[in-house]
Structure formats: structure tokens, C-alpha cells
């Protein structure tokens, strides 16, 4: 069966574990999502969110929202998704979406700022994000204390920010974990001097 159709079926059955089990190393996995964390990785995220008292997560550049839906399933913590508005999401080749997307113009608008600032116990997540200027803009408006960056720590794959060494001194690395043995990492930062 086509990967997108099969993932959509498993999503309807609430079977996120089978999605990661079946597709984490599938050659077409990036059609829907860039990383497929293991159950241990989701436990790591769950523990970090609990330790840091995060009641929500807002994910910027969430794409299909599959990761965000799986985080909610695995941790019980609600995750909202922000995407940049554009023709892509209305085009027939766009992937299905697994959470409602909040669309923003390239210059962040007031609705998006309100979403970022809704609750101080919200963590902000960037997974395979690729826009440094926008990353800095989002962090300027974000008022919470927990930043999660997921991305490659390996040669040949580029994201901006990368999981390590791309944040200012305002942020200290709290914990990190590799996603399986993929060379992708989940890096959790906390804000300093608060």
C-alpha cells in the first residue's frame, strides 16, 4: 500500500506505534515526516516535558503535523502546529495533515504571536526547520522557557538551526538524545537567567 494512505489508516486507528515501527526506515518516509522517533525517544520527550512542567507544545514548521500528533498520543501533552501560509498546502501534492495547522504569513502576524504567548508553560519545537531568520523571529516573540530542536547532527543533511551549537547564550542544553541510531538528535534547551 502507498505509504501516505497506510499512515493515514494507522492514524485513524490511533496506532502511532505501528507508524514508527513500520516506517522509520522506509525509503519514502520523508513524504510525510523527516524523523520517526522510537518509543524510547517519545518517553524521553515525555519525561523532559514533565520535568520542565510543560503543559503544551507549539511546533513551528510542523509540516504534516504527524510528529506533533504522535507526541500528543505518546505524552498526553497537546501540541499545536504553525506553518507558513502558501500555495503548497492547497496543492494536490501536499501531504495530508494530522493536526489542524495554524497558518502564518512569512512575517509573523498577531494571531501567531498570540498563539506563541498563550501560556508560559508552553515549549517551542522546531523539527528539521530550515529558516534561520524565522527561527530568531519566533524566539523573539516566544516567552516560555523550553526550546526543543530536532534535526541532523551529521554530514550531508542541513537544517537551520541544527540541534547543537546554533542557539544563543540565553539557552542552556538541558538534555539530548539521538533518534534511534540515525544521526538525528532531540535537543532540549532551557532559558537562562529567568
b/e per residue, 52-72, with b = 16+ CB within 10 A? bebebbbbbbbbbbbbbbbbb
Beta bridge partners of 151: 185
Whether residue 45 contacts residue 186, with contact meaning beta carbons closer than 8 Å, is answered with yes
**Using CA atoms, how far apart are residues 55 and 158, in angstroms rounded to an integer?**
30
163 binds ligand SAM (CB under 6 A): no
82 binds ligand SAM (CB under 6 A): yes
Q: Taking contact as CB under 6 A, which single stretch among the options 38-46, 48-56, 59-67, 172-180 is the one that binds ligand SAM?
A: 59-67
119 binds ligand SAM (CB under 6 A): no
Per-residue binding string, ligand SAM, 164-183, x by CB under 6 A, is --------------------
- Which CB sits closer to ligand SAM, 35 or 167? 35
Strands 122-127 and 171-178: unpaired
Cβ atoms within 10 Å, residue 30:
14
- Which CB sits closer to ligand SAM, 83 or 146? 83
- Which CB sits closer to ligand SAM, 5 or 106? 106
Q: Which of 7, 10, 19, 33 binds ligand SAM (CB under 6 A)?
A: 33
Q: Which of 16, 42, 98, 128 binds ligand SAM (CB under 6 A)?
A: 128
134 binds ligand SAM (CB under 6 A): yes
69 binds ligand SAM (CB under 6 A): no
**Distance in Å, CB of 108 to ligand SAM, minimum:** 7
**Using CA atoms, how far apart are residues 4 and 66, in angstroms rounded to an integer?**
11
Q: Which of 5, 50, 106, 157 binds ligand SAM (CB under 6 A)?
A: 106
DSSP at 95: P
DSSP at 178: E
Taking CA atoms, 105 is separated from 36, 85, 88, 99, 150, in Å, by 28, 5, 13, 19, 23
Q: Which of 130, 132, 136, 192 binds ligand SAM (CB under 6 A)?
A: 130
Footprint of ligand SAM (CB under 6 A): 33-35, 60-63, 67, 82-84, 104, 106, 127-131, 134
Amino acid at each position: 500500500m502507498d505509504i501516505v494512505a497506510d499512515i493515514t489508516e494507522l492514524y485513524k486507528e490511533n496506532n502511532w506505534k505501528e507508524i514508527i515501527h513500520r516506517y522509520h526506515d522506509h525509503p519514502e518516509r520523508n513524504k510525510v515526516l523527516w524523523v520517526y522517533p522510537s518509543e524510547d525517544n517519545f518517553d524521553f520527550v515525555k519525561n523532559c516535558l514533565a520535568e520542565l512542567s510543560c503543559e503544551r507544545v507549539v511546533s513551528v514548521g510542523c509540516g504534516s503535523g504527524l510528529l506533533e500528533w504522535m507526541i500528543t498520543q505518546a505524552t498526553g501533552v497537546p501540541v499545536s502546529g504553525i506553518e507558513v501560509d502558501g500555495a503548497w498546502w492547497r496543492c494536490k501534492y501536499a501531504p495530508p495533515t494530522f493536526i489542524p495547522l495554524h497558518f502564518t504569513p512569512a512575517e509573523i502576524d498577531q494571531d501567531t504571536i498570540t498563539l506563541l504567548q498563550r501560556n508560559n508553560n508552553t515549549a517551542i519545537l522546531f523539527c528539521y526547520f530550515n529558516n534561520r531568520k524565522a527561527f530568531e523571529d519566533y524566539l523573539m516573540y516566544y516567552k516560555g522557557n523550553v526550546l526543543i530542536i530536532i534535526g541532523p547532527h551529521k554530514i550531508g543533511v542541513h537544517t537551520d538551526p541544527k540541534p547543537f551549537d546554533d542557539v544563543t547564550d540565553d539557552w542552556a542544553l538541558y538534555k539530548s538524545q539521538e533518534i534511534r541510531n540515525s544521526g538525528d538528535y532531540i535537543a532540549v534547551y532551557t532559558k537562562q537567567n529567568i
